[in-house]
A = this chain, B = another copy of it.
């Protein structure tokens, strides 16, 4: 069964260059393992109309949509009310979350800003947050998580068992130095034509230490086809004079 996912990173810090993303690779890898491969990623700013329109578009096009960022207590944390708007439901105090946060912060420190984190779109299910308590949430096929990587990962692992999984994706990789894509392209295309349901990828590398070459990857949900394509890739690399090594080039 094929299932698909999209990811929306919400906030200005990636767009401004302040922060290097540390969430995409984790989520891409975990979603592949769960058989819900990631098909599109968007990085958008904290602008209400942009968030509402992006969520509305992607939740119609993909089986599952994940968001990170914008669910803290500050004025620029507007993800949660925007999701409510995208679903056309009120954004309101969620009493069990209110009680949880009041107990965590203490009544005297549970100020108006922090009380915003106790508001969810009506009908949402909280995603537990083992790190800093304030939850994410799921509503329909949209899953809203924190942007801080430690917290996002804890939320994702709490969420994962509730997701409907697809067939896992298998992958085999060979790399070689001293051979380049241009010499392999025709042979690789012939292998792709033999295995049309697989994704065959060609990834040149050119490292600062001078190592140059290419990694060829066969990927798909049919494990037997992946194995056969990987064997054909190995033979192609040998035939062209390469020294194929299984896996990715080490750092």
Residues of B close to A169: CB separation below 8 A: 16
- Structural contact, A13 and B75, CB atoms closer than 8 A: no
From A187, which residue of chain B is reached at the shortest CB distance?
B113
Stretch at the interface among A85-93, A159-167, A195-203: A195-203
- Any B CB within 8 A of the CB of A246: no
Q: Complex: how many Å from CA A73 to CA B181?
A: 6
- Any B CB within 8 A of the CB of A40: yes
- Counted per complex, copies of this chain come to 2
Evaluate whether A28 and B41 lie within 8 angstroms (CB atoms) in the complex, with A75-B185, A182-B105, A192-B75 already known.
no
Residues of B close to A18: CB separation below 8 A: 171, 201, 203, 217, 248
Q: Complex: how many Å from CA A203 to CA B11?
A: 10
Residues of B close to A43: CB separation below 8 A: 24, 40-42
- Any B CB within 8 A of the CB of A168: no
- A58-75 contacts to B, CB under 8 A, are 72-75
- Structural contact, A150 and B201, CB atoms closer than 8 A: no
- Any B CB within 8 A of the CB of A19: yes
- Structural contact, B205 and A148, CB atoms closer than 8 A: yes
- Structural contact, A182 and B113, CB atoms closer than 8 A: yes
- A96-122 contacts to B, CB under 8 A, are 105, 109, 111-114, 117
Q: Complex: how many Å from CA A45 to CA B37?
A: 11
- The size of the chain A interface, using a CB distance under 8 A, is 70
- Any B CB within 8 A of the CB of A242: no
- Structural contact, B40 and A151, CB atoms closer than 8 A: no
- Structural contact, B21 and A188, CB atoms closer than 8 A: no
- Any B CB within 8 A of the CB of A14: yes
- Any B CB within 8 A of the CB of A157: no
- Structural contact, A20 and B25, CB atoms closer than 8 A: yes
- A13-43 contacts to B, CB under 8 A, are 13-21, 24-32, 37-43
Question: Which residue of B72, B189, B248 is within 8 Å of A204 (Cβ)?
Answer: B72
Q: Complex: how many Å from CA A251 to CA B44?
A: 26
- Structural contact, B114 and A182, CB atoms closer than 8 A: yes
- Structural contact, B32 and A24, CB atoms closer than 8 A: no
A15-B40, A40-B50 known, 9 other contacts, Cβ within 8 Å: A12-B199, A13-B203, A18-B217, A20-B25, A40-B42, A40-B44, A72-B181, A76-B201, A113-B182
The 9 closest A-B pairs by CB, nearest first: A113-B185, A17-B28, A17-B29, A41-B43, A114-B182, A75-B189, A74-B202, A73-B182, A74-B185
